[in-house]
Amino acid sequence: MDTVIIGSGISGISAGYHLQKGGEKVVIYEKDNNWGGLCGNFTIDGFRFDRFVHFTFADNEYIRNLFEESSPTYAHPSISSNYYKGYWLKHPAQNNIAPLTVDEKVDIIKGFINRKTKPFEEIKDYDEWLRVQYGDYFAENFPFKYTRKYWGLEPKELETKWVGNRMHTPNIDEVLKGSYETQEKIFYYTSHMKYPKKGGFRSILNKCREGLDIRFNKEVVEINPLEKYIKFSDGTKENYKRLISSLPLPEIVKMIKSCPEEVINCADKLHNTCGYMVSLGFKRPDVPKHLWFYIYDEDILASRVYSPSMKSLDNVPNGCSSLQAEIFFDCKSEIPSKEVVMKNTIEKLVSMGLFKEDEIIVKDIRFEKYANITFDKNIYTNRKVVLDYLKNQNIETIGRFGKWEYYWTHQAFKSGMDTVKNEEK
């Protein structure tokens, strides 16, 4: 085969679509029995669940149009909520502290006014970044706690370039206004979140997926860059002229027998989060009150919960609704069992008053080994060693885990498109 792509996630689909359009002969090998990767979904008794919360907010017109041509979408306003010690605060919490007790509001506002200022270039880590943006009290009680839940690390262990526009940094007027009343304005990095009307999130790829040769249940277990072949877990082998991989960096280096130890060590030091999805289907239509919300309390394992049925009613049977809770860990930490996570999630969501246990008609828990890329302080050095090595072996990498970047779907898609440019070089 001329060009072999490993992985049928959004980056692999995009690479395949664009290369094939340019006349290249392409085949995609996928270890699962279906396409989409993290953009994929699964269905249980008529309840469809994506693999973690997914919306599109592609900024590139060409990509946005391709997604829209694939499937009509709903545009949901980016309104979400935060759960903190029994209070519900509109997102972002730093601008909407009105529901809290007077004492806590005073602590937050005092902390904000007295926060130290520092130019971005001089800030040494995420811990300091949070203190500089929000003041000590808010930083320690909100994002510090969320960091431990979402990233599984202490804020001191993270660097800051990844933050970008992901977190709103308010001025004093916004903090004060939000301490009197919940603000109408949306402070999210995008005003709307789009979601396909039918077929789950991966429908944004319907057009690109059409006509692609994807071979399923083909898990790559060995790569030989010298002799230019890959081997699969079923014992078969495929030669290639060009190899494009969306495999996670820590996995691909282990598949190359000749890979130097230094490279394997660097890949080993990369951090990512892994996570459970607890998916729940309910026999009544009105369980979810928020499209998604964040949970700060540390005794509740779930850090974020969203509603597939609010994304689209196509995701549930008539008269029903659904939620999916996300529970993350650092990949190198001890991970609790499925039973522990399921029990904690259901008990805590019930105690938050979201539903009664006997209203659940579908429950499922599954684990993803690769969720988010973690920007610990050594990521750039370790990642460079691995990427330079793969480039020398003429292996092109794409996607969130192939580039080891905090890519949204449209960025992972773009990295697949860029394989066309690589070829033109």
Ligand X SMILES: Cc1cc2nc3c(=O)[nH]c(=O)nc-3n(C[C@H](O)[C@H](O)[C@H](O)COP(=O)(O)OP(=O)(O)OC[C@H]3O[C@@H](n4cnc5c(N)ncnc54)[C@H](O)[C@@H]3O)c2cc1C
User: 357: part of which helix (H) or strand (E)?
Assistant: none
**Residue 310, C-beta contacts closer than 8 angstroms, at least 6 positions apart:** 76, 288, 290, 291, 321
The residue (of 9 and 308) whose beta carbon lies closer to ligand X is 9
The gap from C-alpha 224 to its chain's centroid, in whole angstroms, comes to 31
Smallest separation (angstroms) from ligand X to the CB of 228: 17
Question: In this complex, which beta carbon is closest to ligand X, that of residue 12 or of residue 152?
Answer: 12
Q: Cα–Cα distance between 83 and 72 in angstroms, integer?
A: 32
Question: What is the DSSP secondary-structure string of 372-424?
Answer: -B--BTTHHHHHHHHHHHHHHTTEEE-HHHHHTS---HHHHHHHHHHHHHHHH
CB-nearer residue toward ligand X: 35 or 129? 35
- List contacts with ligand X (CB under 6 A): 6-12, 29-32, 37-39, 52-56, 219-220, 246-247, 326, 371-372, 399-401, 407-410, 412
Residue 101, token pair as written in the block: 């007790």
CB neighbour list of residue 127: distance below 8 Å, 6 or more residues apart: 139, 144, 154, 155, 156, 158
3-state helix, strand, coil in the chain (%, to 5): 40, 25, 40
State the nearest-atom distance from the C-beta of 128 to ligand X, in Å. Answer: 26
Choice between 31 and 64, CB closer to ligand X: 31
Closest separation in Å from C-beta 235 to ligand X: 14
Q: Cβ 99 to ligand X, closest distance in Å? A: 26
The nearest distance, CB 19 to ligand X, in angstroms, is 15
Instruction: Tell me whether residue 68 or residue 128 sits nearer to ligand X (CB atom).
Output: 68
Smaller CB separation from ligand X, 112 or 375: 375
Whole-angstrom distance, CA of residue 337 vs CA of residue 179: 40
Q: Pick the closer one to ligand X by CB: 54 or 90.
A: 54
Using CA atoms, how far residue 161 sits from 126, 171, 346, 377, in Å, is 9, 21, 35, 10
Strand partners, 275: 328, 368
Residue 336: count of CB within 10 angstroms of its CB:
15
Q: Phi and psi at residue 174, in whole multiples of 5°?
A: -65, -40
Smaller CB separation from ligand X, 29 or 112: 29
**Please, what is the minimum distance in Å from the beta carbon of residue 258 to ligand X?**
18
| Nearest distance, CB of residue 371 and ligand X, angstroms | 4
Task: Name the residue nearer to ligand X (CB basis): 157 or 326.
Answer: 326
State the minimum distance, in angstroms, from the CB of residue 97 to ligand X.
Answer: 26
Residue type, 351: S
- In the bound complex, what is the minimum distance in angstroms from residue 66's beta carbon to ligand X? 14
Please give the single-letter amino acid code of residue 36.
G
Of 251, 263, 245, 241, whose CA–CA distance to 221 is shortest? 251
